């Protein structure tokens, strides 16, 4: 038995990632006629989709689902920290 993800899992994950990319793009284009900062709900949707996509990349393509909890925690923690910094930057820019 191999510990590598199968073709079906890889293709399903790829399709899900592409779908979430379309959701992020659509969310950003909802206010395309108004070139101001994204509404809070739209930015939140983009950050949530990005977080889920990063989690799928880590677990499927980097195969961290087979790694120790320390590796999983470290990588997921770094993704959460990165998304928090992006969100904080968005909020600071919105308040300015």
CA nearest neighbour of 60 among 72, 78, 49, 46? 72
Residue 53 Cα to chain centre, angstroms? 4
Please return the burial class of 41, using the count of CB atoms within 10 Å of its CB with bins 0-12, 13-18 and 19+: exposed
pLDDT of 1 over the 60 cut: no
Q: State pLDDT tens for residues 5-20.
A: 888 988 998 999 899 8
- The yes-or-no verdict on residue 79 having pLDDT over 60 is yes
For 40, residues 6+ apart whose C-beta sits below 8 A from its C-beta are 94
- Cut 0.85: pTM above it: no
Dmax (CA) for the chain in angstroms is 55
The residue that leads in pLDDT, 37 or 3, is: 3
| Predicted pLDDT of residue 83 | 94
């Amino acid at each position: 038995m191999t510990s590598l993800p199968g073709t079906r899992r890889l293709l399903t994950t790829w399709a899900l990632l592409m779908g979430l990319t379309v959701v992020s793009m659509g969310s950003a284009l909802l206010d395309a006629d108004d070139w101001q900062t994204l509404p809070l709900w739209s930015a939140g949707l983009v950050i949530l989709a990005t977080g889920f996509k990063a989690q799928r990349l880590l677990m499927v393509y980097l195969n961290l689902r087979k790694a120790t909890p320390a590796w999983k925690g470290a990588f997921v923690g770094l993704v959460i920290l990165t998304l928090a910094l992006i969100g904080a930057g968005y909020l600071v820019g919105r308040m300015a």
